[in-house]
Amino acid sequence: MVSAKASRGLKICCGVTAIIVAIVAIVFVVLAFTVFKPKNPEITVYPIGLEDIGLDLQGVLNTSAINATVPMVIAINNRNYGSFKFKNTTGFINYRGNVVATVPLQQSLVPARGKLNISTAADFMVDRLIANSTFWADVLTGSVNFSSDATVHGKVKMFNVLKIGASVPSKCDISIFIKSRIVQSICKTKIKL
């Protein structure tokens, strides 16, 4: 038979173990909903070489100077504690609801709590852009507004142990100011696990 002292010690040991397990579980739940909660990445688009595009305020198009390909850098700031490895994908640039360019994105790894710059190029379909009846009116007003859509699929890796499939749809509003050749982009992303 178990003595009263041993039984009391066993109860205390089980009680302390249960309290420690409960505290650890509470800590994990709090961390999961605060520190490790997935945050949306910050994405910024930087077109390069806009000074080579032959548009002026009179709406004259110099076809010998226009490039159908606009190089760009896409900056991704990952604020999460997990890295994100994504597959090849294609983004689309729209002008007033019509696709006017494609942007290939090569597979890459965005480090945990790190930044990644992706060099790529937008392949513009100039005929679609110019065929839009409002394009020249926008050029004459001094700014042309585009939107872009891309969904990146990949895997989130937490602490080199946990791997979760994820997708990151991104929508950007891009404004090109003709006279100053300044580009402003505002992107919205939402990580989906």
- Which H/E stretch holds residue 19? helix 4-33
The CATH code for residues 42-189 is 2.60.40
Residue 154: other Cβ atoms inside 10 A:
19
Residues with Cβ within 8 Å of residue 164, at least 6 apart in sequence: 82, 155, 156, 158, 193
Is residue 108 predicted with pLDDT exceeding 90?
Answer: yes
Q: Pick from 9, 2, 45: which is nearest to 186 by CA?
A: 45
What pLDDT shows up at residue 53?
55
What pLDDT shows up at residue 52?
54
Is residue 161 predicted with pLDDT exceeding 90?
Answer: no
What pLDDT shows up at residue 38?
86
Cα separation, 170 vs 183, whole angstroms: 18
Domain ranges of the chain: 1-37, 42-189
Is residue 60 predicted with pLDDT exceeding 60?
Answer: no
pTM: 0.77
Q: What is the mean pLDDT of residues 95-113?
A: 94
What's the residue count for the chain?
Answer: 193
Residue whose tokens read 């007033």: 96
